[in-house]
């Protein structure tokens, strides 16, 4: 049975899409600072009834051209961030000329991974293709970096079925090339003529020259507004792009911890209400996890109010929540409330989420009792 307001996103799944802009600290810690924009949307071509189409159109969630969401979300994030300096990071879905050209024209800062072998013009005015230009550029002599590769990039040879529980990513030593070029407007796209400023940017290739046997070599193409003239500047661009994986962790917290995709609510309206509750919790859980790793001695009072601490102590013991409790102490209590058994290893997202909800529910009860 089709739930009210949702669309069919695959053969066996109903739902909608969510485009999220997450602010991450640029000091190297990759600490999540919060969600600046979150836009639920559906593809117009997936809707087959007027009522659903009207419902999403009224909420600005009807998407005819999915590329529109990138620039709109970036503008929304800039507005929410106020005067904060921002560098926008996009994965390969953001490789669209309308986005690249608009960001250059608006003088916004970005690092975007490219997917298409685009037509470009080098600094000498010679036309070429992105791949050809990068292949003729020299590798930065002596410059390498070891990065962590996620399972999706391939841990087995082609033709073999990858199993994520056996291939949990790997380390890769990569080298770099960097050039400056102007990306040309795609052929037969006269509708993009409104982008008047030449789309001149820096192009970086991240390449694994000696991958392990049977592994697909890493090869990224990055387009950026940032300088790449020095080794330090180039590595900074690569590090900025790698912050994108913080978003993957947020979705794990939302989907695995919050079990959002398993919610059996009957309408999109109810699902969006639940999203409004679950997404901030997922962000807070992600913050707590990062603080526990990066600042384990930070007082729990830095992220929890006094009533939270009181409830934790009441639900467990003063021994687990001492007067000078740290963030690690608080996370340990939350995991315990979620049913975590220490002999089972570190708590996962699901256990943490359960404990967090227990804490919030008990806090409401305490507040009601005091009032």
Identify whether the C-beta of residue 20 lies closer than 8 Å to the C-beta of residue 247.
yes
Average of per-residue pLDDT across 59-84: 88
How confident is the model over 177-232, as pLDDT tens digits?
999 999 998 888 888 888 887 889 999 999 998 888 888 889 999 999 999 999 99
For residue 299, what is the DSSP state? B
pLDDT in tens, 322-332: 989 999 999 99
Q: Is residue 56 assigned to a domain?
A: no
282 and 186 in a single domain? The answer is: no
- Residue 294 neighbours by CB distance under 10 Å: 12
- Check residue 170 and give its pLDDT: 85
**What does the pLDDT read at residue 10?**
66
Tell me the pLDDT tens digit for each residue of 256-298. 888 888 887 888 889 999 999 999 999 999 999 999 888 999 9
Report CA 236 to chain centroid distance, whole Å: 18
Q: Are residues 321 and 343 in the same domain?
A: yes
Q: Is 231 exposed, middle or buried (0-12, 13-18, 19+ CB in 10 A)?
A: middle
User: CA–CA separation, 362 vs 350, rounded Å?
Assistant: 18
Tell me, what's the pLDDT at 262?
83
For residue 24, the cross-strand partners are 32
Element (H, E) at 352: helix 349-370
290 and 170 part of one domain: no
Tell me: do 289 and 176 sit in the same domain.
no
46 in a structural domain: no
Q: What is the pLDDT of residue 161?
A: 45
214 and 137: one domain?
yes
Range of the domain at 334: 251-370
Dihedral sign of CA atoms 253, 88, 244, 25 in order = negative
Among 50-54, 94-98, 167-171, the minimum mean pLDDT is found in: 167-171
Residues 215 and 271 in one domain: no
- Regarding whether 136 and 119 lie in a shared domain, the answer is yes
Spatial CA neighbour of 57 closest among 44, 66, 46:
44
CA separation for the pair 153, 253 (Å, rounded): 22
The pLDDT score that the predictor gives to residue 87 is 96
Checking if the pLDDT of 368 tops 80, the result is: yes
Gap between the Cα atoms of 114 and 95, Å rounded: 5
| 158 and 233 part of one domain | yes
User: What is the separation, in whole angstroms, between the first and last Cα of the chain?
Assistant: 44
Residue 289 lies in a domain: yes
Tokens linked to 53 = 């189409």
- What is the mean pLDDT of the segment spanning 38-65? 86
Is 93 part of a structural domain of the chain? Answer: no
Query: Is residue 190 one of the residues assigned to a domain?
Result: yes
In a domain, 102, yes or no: no
Query: Which residue, 183, 215, 243, sits at the end of a domain?
Result: 243
User: Is residue 85 one of the residues assigned to a domain?
Assistant: no
Of 243, 265, 285, the residue at which a domain comes to its end is: 243
Query: Do residues 236 and 226 lie in contact, with contact meaning Cβ atoms separated by under 8 Å?
Result: yes
Q: Tell me how far apart the alpha carbons of residues 284 and 261 are, in angstroms, rounded to a whole number.
A: 19
Taking each helix axis as running N to C, give the angle between helix 306-315 and helix 327-337, from 0 to 180 degrees, rounded to the nearest 10. Answer: 50
Task: Check which CATH number belongs to the domain holding 136 and give it.
Answer: 3.90.350.10
Residue range 338-355: mean pLDDT, rounded: 88
Query: Average per-residue pLDDT in the chain?
Result: 87
- Which residue carries 């315990």 as its tokens? 336
- Measured distance CA(335)–CA(350) in Å, rounded: 9
DSSP state for residue 45 in the 8-state scheme: G
What is the model's pLDDT at position 158?
Answer: 38
Q: At what angle do helices 68-81 and 97-105 cross, to 10 degrees?
A: 30
How many whole angstroms separate alpha carbon 37 and alpha carbon 70? 11
The total number of structural domains that make up the chain = 2
Q: Could you tell me what percent of the chain has a pLDDT over 70? A: 93
CA–CA gap between residue 371 and residue 369 (Å, rounded): 5
For residue 276, what is the enclosing H or E element?
A: helix 268-294
Does the pLDDT of residue 36 top 90, yes or no?
yes
The two tokens of residue 62 are: 């009807």
- Report the CATH number that the domain containing residue 283 is assigned in CATH: 1.10.740.10
- Tell whether the model's pLDDT for residue 44 goes beyond 90: no
Do 255 and 364 share a domain, yes or no? Answer: yes
Range 88-95 average pLDDT: 94
Q: Are residues 223 and 275 in the same domain?
A: no
CA–CA separation, 89 vs 70, rounded Å? 10
Pick from 243, 275, 298: which residue ends a domain? 243
Inform me whether the pLDDT recorded for 73 exceeds 70: yes
- Please tell me whether residues 112 and 217 are part of one structural domain: yes
Looking at the structure, tell me whether residues 255 and 293 fall in a common domain.
Answer: yes
Evaluate whether residue 29 is within a structural domain.
Answer: no
Q: Count how many residues are written for the chain.
A: 371
């Amino acid at each position: 049975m089709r739930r009210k307001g949702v669309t069919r996103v695959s053969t066996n799944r109903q739902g909608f899409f969510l485009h999220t802009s997450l602010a991450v600290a640029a000091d190297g810690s990759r600490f999540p600072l919060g969600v600046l924009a979150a836009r639920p949307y559906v593809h117009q071509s997936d809707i087959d009834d007027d009522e659903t189409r009207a419902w999403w159109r009224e909420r600005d969630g009807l998407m005819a051209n999915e590329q529109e969401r990138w620039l709109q979300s970036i503008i929304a994030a800039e507005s929410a961030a106020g005067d904060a300096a921002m560098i926008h990071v996009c994965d390969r879905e953001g490789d669209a000329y309308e986005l690249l050209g608009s960001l250059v024209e608006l003088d916004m800062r970005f690092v975007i991974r490219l997917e298409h072998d685009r037509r470009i013009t080098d600094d000498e005015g010679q036309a070429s293709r992105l791949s050809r230009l990068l292949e003729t550029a020299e590798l930065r002599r002596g410059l390498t970096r070891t990065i962590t590769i996620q399972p999706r990039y391939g841990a087995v040879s082609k033709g073999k079925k990858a199993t994520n529980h056996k291939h949990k990513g790997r380390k890769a030593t990569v080298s770099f090339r960097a050039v400056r070029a102007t990306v040309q407007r795609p052929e037969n796209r006269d509708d993009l003529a409104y982008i008047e400023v030449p789309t001149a940017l820096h192009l970086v290739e991240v390449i694994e020259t000696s991958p392990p046997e049977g592994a697909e070599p890493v090869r990224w193409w990055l387009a950026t507004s940032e300088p790449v003239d020095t080794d330090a500047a180039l590595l900074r661009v690569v590090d900025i792009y790698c912050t994108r994986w913080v978003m993957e962790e947020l979705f794990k917290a939302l989907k695995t911890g919050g079990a959002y995709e398993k919610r059996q609510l009957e309408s999109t309206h109810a699902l969006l209400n639940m999203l409004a509750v679950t997404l901030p919790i997922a962000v807070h859980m992600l913050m707590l996890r990062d603080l526990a790793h990066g600042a384990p001695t930070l007082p729990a009072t830095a992220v929890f109010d006094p009533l939270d601490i009181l409830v934790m102590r009441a639900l467990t013991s003063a021994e687990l929540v001492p007067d000078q409790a740290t963030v690690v102490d608080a996370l340990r209590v939350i995991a315990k409330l979620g049913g975590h058994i220490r002999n089972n290893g570190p708590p996962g997202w699901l256990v943490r989420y359960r404990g967090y909800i227990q804490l919030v529910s008990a806090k409401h009860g305490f507040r009601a009792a005091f009032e």
